Structures are given as C-alpha cells and as structure tokens.
Amino acid sequence: MKSQTIAPKRWWFIMPIVFITYSLAYLDRANFSFASAAGINDDLGITKGMSSLLGALFFLGYFFFQIPGAVYAERRSVKKLIFWCLILWGGCASLTGVVSNIPMLAAIRFVLGVVEAAVMPAMLIYISNWFTKSERSRANTFLILGNPVTVLWMSVVSGYLINAFGWREMFIFEGIPAVIWAVAWWFLVQDKPAQAKWMSDEEKSALQAQLQKEQEGIKAVRNYGEAFRNRNVIILCMQYFAWSIGVYGFVLWLPSILRNGTQMGMVEAGWLSAVPYLVATIAMVVVSWASDKKQNRKLFVWPLLLIGALAFLGSYLVGSSHFWLSYALLVIAGGAMYAPYGPFFALITEMLPRNVAGGAMALINSMGALGSFIGSWIVGYLNGATGSPAASYIFMGAALLVSVWLTLIVKPAENKTAPIHGAKHA
C-alpha cells in the first residue's frame, strides 16, 4: 500500500520508544504477583482475601482516571503527560518495597493505578497521530507487546531478585528504570509529525494528507457524550470488561497457581510463568500482521478469545492431578487472550473520528480496568477460598465466552470494503 511507504523511518524512531514506555508501566503493575507468591502476605499479616483485594486495587485507581488522562493527551500533550506519569509510577513502585503495613500498601497500589491510568489511551492516541489505518494494528501491537514481553523477562528476573534479596528489594530495583526513562522520553518524543526534525517536509505533508483522508470516511461525532452513547462503543466496553477478567485473573495469580500446583521454588515458578508470554508475543505479531493485511479486525479477535475460553475450561477438566497437561492448556489460554489486542484497538480508531476516538478508547480501557479489578480480585479470592484454581478457571473461561459473543455483535465488520471501518455504523 502506498501509505506504508510514507516515512518508513517512523517505525524505527517511534516504536522502540512506545514499546519501552509501556513495558515499564507493565513491569510495575505485574510484579505484585511475585511478591504475593514470595511472602509479602506473611510479612505484613495479609489474609488470602485481603491479598486478592490489594492486588486488584491498582485497577480501581486505573479505572477512575482513564478518561481525564485521555482528554488531556488528546487536547494538550502526550509528551508532558507521560513524562510525569513515568516519574510518579516509578516512585510509587519503588515505595512498595518499603511499606510496613496494609493501609500503606493499599494506598500505594491505588495511587500506582491512578498515575498509570492515562498511559494506555495516551499511547494509543500518540500512535494514531503517527500511523495510518493500514499500519495501525501492527503499531498498536508493538505498544501492547510491552505487556507480554515484560512479563516474560520480569517473571524470570523477579524470581531471581526475590531469591537473592527478597520481595522488598525486587520492588525497589524494578521501580528505578521508569524514572530514568522519563529523561530519555522527554528528549526523544514529539507529539505530532509536524514537530519532528527527522522527517522531511514532503514526508510530513504526505502523512498528514493520508491521515486526513482517512477521517473523511468516518461519520462525524459531535462530542464525547455522543460517542459514549454509540452502540458499538457500549458493546466494546462490555466486551473489554469481560476479556480483561480473564487476562488479569491470569496475570496476577499465575505464579501462585503454579506454586500451589507443585510446591516449586520462586525461580522455577518464574521460568514457567514466562512461557505463556513467549507464546503470546509470537501470536500478537502474527495476528496483527494478518489483521492489517486482511483489514477485517473482528475475524482476528473472537476466534482467539474462544480458544482461550476453551483452554481454561480444558484446564479445569484436566484437574491439578495432571499438572503438565493443565499447564500446557494455561499456556494456550495466555497466548490466545493476548493475541487480539492489536486488531481490537485498531477497530476503535476506525469506528470514530479523531476528535472523540481518544476519549472512547479511554472509556473502553477504563471498563477493561474495572474487569481487571473484578478478575484479579475474584480469581485471588476463589483460589484462596477453595485451595484450588479449578473454580477460577471456570470463572475466567466463562468471562471469555461472554467477550466472544459481544465481539460477534459489533457491527463494523459489515463494512469490509468501505475505506474506513465503521463509516456506516449505527
């Protein structure tokens, strides 16, 4: 496609920055699962029920501050917003390592969610400013790859850090990189292509013309209120809520599930926890490439979520007595849940005009955060209350089946041949 030949250097300048930034955000939210498996509960006197709530509190803070962050990023500056977020979340993450009581830990988990809330919608807005429709699924995937790739190496590194030092030092060490990266971010990032010194005037004009042309095919939406009442936006909010129940129930409690299964050490749990994210990384790259090639976003979302649901239910049926078969199914579930992220977020920007797309993404992502809160809390609670992950497998599998159905009733796929998906949406 012609649009793909516009300033190919964009990929080399922007994608490493996007990837590293979201990777660091994910590092500081996912390492709590390792502290839970490594003794933070015993050290601070946390009950199993309280542990699941503390793990989930991050997502409550995340839920409340999505839309304000997205509005600031869309109307003002992604660069300034992310700079301060990096400093604040790195500081909060390191402070987790010096907590001495449950209220302090609860406050830090909530504040960490608040300062990370704007990162995802702001970065999606940033990508939509720089990449065209035919590139966006892959660009979004490079962003979201920061999630499984980070958990992949973080699982191994956290296991070793805890083994060598303890859970406190793990939090302190893993919060520092975000603060250092804030400085690099400030000097490397420009909000819009027009500000980039490394692009020629011809490249800037061609890219701006292509992005503007794509907006012409999308039905005008006056304001956020109208966008938030849009049928597709409401359905995608519910879909992402259900999907996130499965994803974050899995992410936050996998190390604990594995240790309960075989009484393994932290290093072994770290290595085994990493494997689903390796599979997820490969799946995300392949699926996003295919989605951009076919320009049918839904086709690369619901079948994978269905596979994830069936893998969870299969792991339940196999039972803990067959650990390795159950584990293999969890690897499949993890890979399948992550694979559709790129096409999913590309779908949103193709349904709505630029003036409201960022706010809509924030609303959808905030409902995902609420699902993450519910998923991580209930999965942790079920594991503690039943002494087995079996009930949580059913819960996560059922949530994914709901998300499959909701994906199927979204309408943009009817416009496969239209220049912009969603141009005729209700």
**Sequential DSSP letters for 151-184:** HHHHHHHHHHHHHHT-HHHHHHHHHHHHHHHHHH
Q: What is the token pair recorded at 21?
A: 């930034």
The percent helix, strand, coil of the chain (3-state, each to 5) is 85, 0, 15
Q: Which of 52, 21, 277 is nearest to 157 (CA)?
A: 277
Separation of alpha carbons 331 and 308, rounded Å: 9
Residue identified by tokens 């699924």 is 137
Per-residue pLDDT tens for 305-344?
A: 999 899 888 877 886 677 788 788 888 988 899 889 888 8
Phi-psi region of 183 (alpha: psi -120 to 50; beta: other; left: phi over 0): alpha
- Residues in contact with 362: Cβ distance below 8 Å, sequence separation at least 6, in sequence order: 66, 67, 69, 70, 71, 118, 121
Q: Can you give the pLDDT at residue 414? A: 41
Separation of alpha carbons 87 and 209, rounded Å: 35
Separation of alpha carbons 243 and 62, rounded Å: 16
Count Cβ atoms below 10 Å from residue 17 Cβ, excluding itself: 17
3-state secondary structure of 217: coil
Q: Is the pTM of this model over 0.85?
A: no
44 vs 83, which has greater pLDDT?
83
Residue identified by tokens 């993890």 is 334
Q: What is the token pair recorded at 375?
A: 């998923």
Per-residue pLDDT tens for 215-258?
A: 776 676 667 778 788 888 999 999 999 999 888 777 666 666 66
pLDDT at 261 over 60: no
| Residue 232 host element (H or E) | helix 231-262
Separation of alpha carbons 261 and 107, rounded Å: 31
Whether 159 contacts 271, CB under 8 Å: yes
Whether 93 contacts 181, CB under 8 Å: no
User: How confident is the model over 135-150, as a mean pLDDT?
Assistant: 81
Per-residue pLDDT tens for 347-375?
A: 877 777 777 777 888 889 889 888 888 88
Q: Can you give the pLDDT at residue 275? A: 84
Phi/psi at 304 (5° precision): -70, -40
Q: Can you give the pLDDT at residue 258? A: 67
Separation of alpha carbons 152 and 142, rounded Å: 15
Phi-psi region of 200 (alpha: psi -120 to 50; beta: other; left: phi over 0): beta
3-state secondary structure of 115: helix
Separation of alpha carbons 170 and 338, rounded Å: 26
Phi/psi at 320 (5° precision): -70, -15
Per-residue pLDDT tens for 379-421?
A: 778 877 777 777 888 888 899 999 999 999 988 644 333 333 3
Separation of alpha carbons 334 and 330, rounded Å: 6
Per-residue pLDDT tens for 103-122?
A: 898 898 888 888 888 888 88
Separation of alpha carbons 360 and 341, rounded Å: 16
Residue identified by tokens 């049926």 is 317
3-state secondary structure of 99: coil
Q: What is the token pair recorded at 243?
A: 């999907």
Whether 197 contacts 187, CB under 8 Å: no
Mean per-residue pLDDT of the chain: 81
